[in-house]
A and B are shown apart, each in its own frame.
Chain A
Amino acid sequence: MSERLARAALTRLTEPGDVRMAGLVADLGAEVVYEHLRNERDLGGVLTEVASRLRGLDPARDLDDASRQGIRFVVPGDPEWPPSLADLETAEPLNRRGGAPIGLWVRGRLRVDEACARSVAVVGSRSATSYGAGVAGALAAEVAREGVAVVSGAAFGIDQAAHRGALAARGPTVAVLACGPERAYPAAHKQLLDYIAEEGVVVSELPPGCAPTRLRFLSRNRLIAALSTGTVVVEAAVRSGALNTANWATRLHRVLMGVPGPVTSAPSEGVHELIRSGKAALVTEGRHVLELASPAGSFTLGHQRGETRPLDGLEEQELRVLDALPVVHGVSVASLARTAALGEAAVRESLTILRDAGLAEAVDGVWRIGKAHAS
């Protein structure tokens, strides 16, 4: 039996994110583990759990059926296997789940490794507001336009807005599911998922036919974080699943970013906490994300500066004279010197500079504010 068939079989036997299985496969290799299980070796209790699933397992037929549905199975060593998943092997488990996936069931046009070479996860609450969805869509579009893939979970709320933003920008997008890659979950997203499969790629640890469960969503979140160079959280309430993805991003040493919302908004509370505690960097638009998630130095933003105003660059002495200048009726140099508490020579010097800048004007030998000083 080949490694690929063994891994396909194992994805049906175990739950994704099972740390023991990941360890066994890493230590013994998938073929050995599968052989042992078939020969009824206990392997530290794993057999008892999966025995009921062993019967009737036919990985070769599974792969055939899958390929008829346009689904391929990608394993480590394949060119399409994304190298970033290796980080999961060494990361500490979270909620007792972790480890690299045994294989990926993939549906879609894009190659997973290519899409995820430059990618950003955009995740958030399913109960998002129109504000969050709007920002997530705009941000995803901006990122995707630069060819950076938007990775998300195809859920209601922020996830769907992120995918659609990327699709609208004709950019790459990756949907990571907690069920078989052919399934539409939530059902209302069938059209969205089909579209992603056509233009981007849909990925899952679970083989076709598997239904989503609560724990599978937690395991799925680690893949979203691992497949991307950074994770952006838009609108997550204090107990949102998006915070689980954020935790994984931190654990995997990925860049964690958060988009703030109104400070009174409950759906943004979780994000605000991430930013307040220093775990996430505050981002408000795609450029910020690109700067943080791109390889160091490859995308840098200049400092944000306000507009240039006429008073910029004036020395203190000139500013004092300017403050002393009347608006309507001009005054003499001597009078300005008194008001500004400066010597007459210094006043004359400053007036020349101010006049050249249009900030002062002389009318009949007396001085007043010039037209450029409108504000």
Chain B
Amino acid sequence: MSHATAHTISLQGAHGHLIDVQADLSDGTVQTTMVGRPDTSISEARDRCRAAVTNSGYTWPNTKRVTVLLSPADLRKSGPHFDLAIAVAVLGAGGTFKPEATRGTAFIGELTLDGRLRAVPGVLPMAMAAAAAGLTCVIVPDCQVEEAVLVPDLMVLGVRSLQQVVAILNDHPVPDAPPVASLPTLPGITWRGESRLSDLDMADVQGMPDARYAVEVASAGGHHLMLSGPKGAGKTTLAERIPGLLPDLTLEQALELTCIHSVAGTLPAGKPVLTRPPFRAPHHSATRASVVGGGTGRTRPGEISQALHGVLFLDEFPLFQGDIIESFRQPLESAEITIARGEETATYPARTMFVLAANPCPCGDFHPASRDHRCTCTEVQRRRYRGRLSGPITDRIDITRHIEPVRPHELNDPLARPESTQEIRTRVVGARDRQAARYAGTDWRLNSDVPGPALRERWPLSGEAQRELDRWLYTGRLTHRGSTRVHRLAWTVADLLGVEQPGLREVETAVQLRTGEPLALEALRREVLG
């Protein structure tokens, strides 16, 4: 009886499952069979492993019947990174090293025919799953060590070839091998370079005091925001400055985001962990798979998930495909996205700030409030365009703001001193700290995370404010969902002011933010000079 086991990890979405790869060598018809629901990329591993083993100077059991089992057998498995575990299991069964040498270790990596390793996507989530499953060591392609070392309490060994792995398992001196090329980064559909974004400052945004405040509230509480207005009004200008208002990610958030980009294969080389909130701006012509996630073959997280803990900016929102727009419902409400394909279901986190921008009409020149707009669209075109913002979507948006192009007197105001990104970020961070302290001991971090019932039960509004909110609910000014969202917004408004409990004033500001009504200048606090 000769058999051996090597562990590896199979990914489903950004979650990893521990897989035992068992190899058995027995007498019988000479052949190699692979059982346990492998997909084609794993079935091909048979040929790759055989060549890699032979070309590394070891013997493939050519006179035996080789059975490789991937268990648990009910999970569907895919990915080329099974190669290393399969080769190790077969070599172990053949007695190349002691079977117990592989205990507690996960093997991750694709093999080339000459026995060298290749980088694979998703090393970070795999390493996290290995640690969670109680393994103490992972062996990964050496260029991806810095991803895996982010996981605490896990020994990470970077290797370049199968020979090095065998040497480690035998406790022999490790032979040298040429380094492994890092994974080619798939460029995300980022509209403009990230580096450019860091140079943008709120101090350069003239006028629109209430839109500036809306952006501040959205950033402080993680609320979804819709900016409407004619082209050139400054919607993109504002949206691109939102990431600058957000604090650095916490370690936990950074790991979660890095996992997503690791799976998506969009982790920039030389940047093992992403620490800044991402800004993703897919174009409206993007496909459903790229925005929401999915794709043929390997399921990849979409732009929604790649914007995790950051900003997903959807410019010209009504021009996105109808089914993409509708698929935003789930992430807008529950902060995750489920991609169901055949029998495979992947759920990716989608906790991100949606920032939608919409022109008033297809040509973008229509000003509902102005007599002398230059819009060339017909009323039917305008109606159809607006109709694409379906009620269920707009009802899930917390803050609505209409932006008019800055007026000459605002541009020339000699006393205007728009606040800088840093000044606003100080308040945003302060408000976020208050939220973190309030929600300590829960799974929630921001006001936008807290479900309605918990909010009403544990963090109510002042009695007076709640009565006013109820009145608006009964008179139809707010929907039920709307009143919950106003409740959350009122907390953020209060957190920005440093108020202990939201009262009438905060609720009124929150309602104005949600309905798009003009804001009371007092709410802006800095109404006077700048």
**Nearest chain A CB to B312's CB is how many angstroms away?**
27
Q: Which residues of B contact A165 (CB under 8 A)?
A: 409, 413
**Nearest chain A CB to B471's CB is how many angstroms away?**
14
Q: Which residues of A contact B408 (CB under 8 A)?
A: 141, 168-169
Known: A138-B409, A160-B528, A168-B409. A195 touches B520 (CB 8 A): no
Q: Per-residue CB proximity of B382-408 to A under 8 Å, as 1/0?
A: 000000000000000000000010011
Q: Which residues of A contact B520 (CB under 8 A)?
A: 127-129, 267
Q: Which residues of A contact B203 (CB under 8 A)?
A: none
A262 in the interface, Cβ–Cβ < 8 Å?
yes
**Nearest chain A CB to B311's CB is how many angstroms away?**
24
Question: Could you tell me the dominant secondary structure of chain B's interface residues?
Answer: loop
B194 in the interface, Cβ–Cβ < 8 Å?
no
Q: Which residues of B contact A48 (CB under 8 A)?
A: none
Partner of B409, one of A132, A141, A192, A195: A141
Q: Which residues of B contact A189 (CB under 8 A)?
A: 528-529
A164 in the interface, Cβ–Cβ < 8 Å?
yes
Known: A130-B519, A132-B518, A265-B517. A167 touches B527 (CB 8 A): no
B209 in the interface, Cβ–Cβ < 8 Å?
yes
Q: Which residues of B contact A131 (CB under 8 A)?
A: 518
Q: Per-residue CB proximity of A123-149 to B under 8 Å, as 1/0?
A: 000011111111001101100000000
**Contact across chains for A192 and B527 when beta carbons are under 8 A apart:** no
Q: Which residues of B contact A195 (CB under 8 A)?
A: 414-415
Q: Which residue of B lies closest to A144 (CB)?
A: B409
Q: Which residue of A lies closest to B519 (CB)?
A: A130
**Contact across chains for A192 and B415 when beta carbons are under 8 A apart:** yes
**Contact across chains for B517 and A188 when beta carbons are under 8 A apart:** no
**Nearest chain A CB to B162's CB is how many angstroms away?**
67
Q: Which residues of B contact A191 (CB under 8 A)?
A: 415, 529
**Nearest chain A CB to B350's CB is how many angstroms away?**
32
Q: Known pairs A127-B521, A129-B520, A167-B414; list 20 more (Cβ under 8 Å).
A: A128-B520, A128-B521, A130-B518, A156-B522, A156-B527, A157-B527, A164-B413, A164-B415, A164-B416, A168-B411, A168-B414, A169-B409, A169-B412, A188-B528, A189-B529, A191-B529, A192-B415, A195-B415, A264-B517, A265-B518
**Nearest chain B CB to A194's CB is how many angstroms away?**
10
Partner of A164, one of B378, B409, B517, B524: B409
B410 in the interface, Cβ–Cβ < 8 Å?
yes
Q: Which residue of A lies closest to B521 (CB)?
A: A128
Task: Determine the distance from Cα of A186 to Cα of B528 in the docked complex, in whole angstroms.
Answer: 10
**Contact across chains for B529 and A137 when beta carbons are under 8 A apart:** no
8 residue pairs of the A-B complex, CB under 8 angstroms, read A127-B522, A129-B519, A133-B521, A137-B409, A141-B407, A165-B409, A262-B518, A267-B520
Q: Which residues of A contact B527 (CB under 8 A)?
A: 133, 156-157, 160
B147 in the interface, Cβ–Cβ < 8 Å?
no
**Nearest chain B CB to A267's CB is how many angstroms away?**
8
Partner of A129, one of B407, B413, B518: B518
Q: Which residue of B lies closest to A142 (CB)?
A: B409
Q: Which residue of B lies closest to A198 (CB)?
A: B414
Q: Which residues of A contact B404 (CB under 8 A)?
A: 134
**Nearest chain B CB to A266's CB is how many angstroms away?**
10
Task: Determine the distance from Cα of A81 to Cα of B527 in the docked complex, in whole angstroms.
Answer: 34
Q: Residues of A with Cβ closer than 8 Å to B?
A: 127-134, 137-138, 140-141, 156-157, 160, 164-165, 167-170, 186, 188-189, 191-192, 195, 262, 264-265, 267, 375
Task: Determine the distance from Cα of A138 to Cα of B409 in the docked complex, in whole angstroms.
Answer: 6
Q: Which residues of A contact B517 (CB under 8 A)?
A: 129, 262, 264-265
B210 in the interface, Cβ–Cβ < 8 Å?
yes
Task: Determine the distance from Cα of A298 to Cα of B414 in the docked complex, in whole angstroms.
Answer: 31
Give how many B residues have a beta carbon under 8 Å from the other chain's beta carbons: 24
Q: Residues of B with Cβ closer than 8 Å to A?
A: 209-210, 378, 404, 407-416, 517-522, 524, 527-529
Q: Which residues of B contact A186 (CB under 8 A)?
A: 528
Q: Which residues of A contact B410 (CB under 8 A)?
A: 137, 168
Q: Which residues of B contact A140 (CB under 8 A)?
A: 409
**Contact across chains for B518 and A167 when beta carbons are under 8 A apart:** no
Task: Determine the distance from Cα of A22 to Cα of B404 in the docked complex, in whole angstroms.
Answer: 49
Task: Determine the distance from Cα of A62 to Cα of B518 in the docked complex, in whole angstroms.
Answer: 46
**Nearest chain A CB to B387's CB is how many angstroms away?**
20
**Nearest chain A CB to B383's CB is how many angstroms away?**
15
Task: Determine the distance from Cα of A265 to Cα of B527 in the docked complex, in whole angstroms.
Answer: 19
Task: Determine the distance from Cα of A156 to Cα of B410 in the docked complex, in whole angstroms.
Answer: 17
Task: Determine the distance from Cα of A98 to Cα of B234 in the docked complex, in whole angstroms.
Answer: 49
Task: Determine the distance from Cα of A43 to Cα of B376 in the docked complex, in whole angstroms.
Answer: 74
Task: Determine the distance from Cα of A192 to Cα of B414 in the docked complex, in whole angstroms.
Answer: 9
Q: Which residues of A contact B528 (CB under 8 A)?
A: 156, 160, 186, 188-189, 192
Task: Determine the distance from Cα of A134 to Cα of B208 in the docked complex, in whole angstroms.
Answer: 9
Task: Determine the distance from Cα of A264 to Cα of B408 in the docked complex, in whole angstroms.
Answer: 28
Task: Determine the distance from Cα of A132 to Cα of B519 in the docked complex, in whole angstroms.
Answer: 10
Q: Which residues of B contact A141 (CB under 8 A)?
A: 407-409
Q: Which residue of B lies closest to A191 (CB)?
A: B529
**Nearest chain B CB to A196's CB is how many angstroms away?**
10
**Contact across chains for B415 and A130 when beta carbons are under 8 A apart:** no
Q: Which residues of B contact A264 (CB under 8 A)?
A: 517
**Nearest chain B CB to A66's CB is how many angstroms away?**
26
Q: Which residue of B lies closest to A261 (CB)?
A: B518
Task: Determine the distance from Cα of A164 to Cα of B409 in the docked complex, in whole angstroms.
Answer: 8
**Nearest chain A CB to B158's CB is how many angstroms away?**
57
Task: Determine the distance from Cα of A128 to Cα of B529 in the docked complex, in whole angstroms.
Answer: 15
Q: Which residues of B contact A160 (CB under 8 A)?
A: 527-528
Q: Which residues of B contact A169 (CB under 8 A)?
A: 408-409, 412
Q: Which residues of A contact B210 (CB under 8 A)?
A: 130
**Contact across chains for A168 and B521 when beta carbons are under 8 A apart:** no
**Nearest chain B CB to A206's CB is how many angstroms away?**
23
**Nearest chain A CB to B75's CB is how many angstroms away?**
56
Task: Determine the distance from Cα of A253 to Cα of B64 in the docked complex, in whole angstroms.
Answer: 112
Task: Determine the distance from Cα of A267 to Cα of B527 in the docked complex, in whole angstroms.
Answer: 16
Q: Which residues of A contact B412 (CB under 8 A)?
A: 168-170
Known: A128-B521, A130-B209, A130-B521. A138 touches B407 (CB 8 A): yes
Q: Which residue of B lies closest to A285 (CB)?
A: B371
**Nearest chain B CB to A149's CB is how many angstroms away?**
16
Task: Determine the distance from Cα of A98 to Cα of B413 in the docked complex, in whole angstroms.
Answer: 35
Q: Give 9 nearest A-B pairs by CB, closest first.
A: A131-B518, A141-B409, A129-B518, A168-B412, A168-B409, A130-B210, A168-B413, A165-B409, A188-B528
Task: Determine the distance from Cα of A189 to Cα of B407 in the docked complex, in whole angstroms.
Answer: 22
Known: A168-B412, A192-B415. A156 touches B407 (CB 8 A): no
Q: Which residue of A lies closest to B520 (CB)?
A: A129
**Nearest chain A CB to B206's CB is how many angstroms away?**
11
Task: Determine the distance from Cα of A137 to Cα of B415 in the docked complex, in whole angstroms.
Answer: 13
Task: Determine the distance from Cα of A156 to Cα of B520 in the docked complex, in whole angstroms.
Answer: 12
**Nearest chain A CB to B178's CB is how many angstroms away?**
64
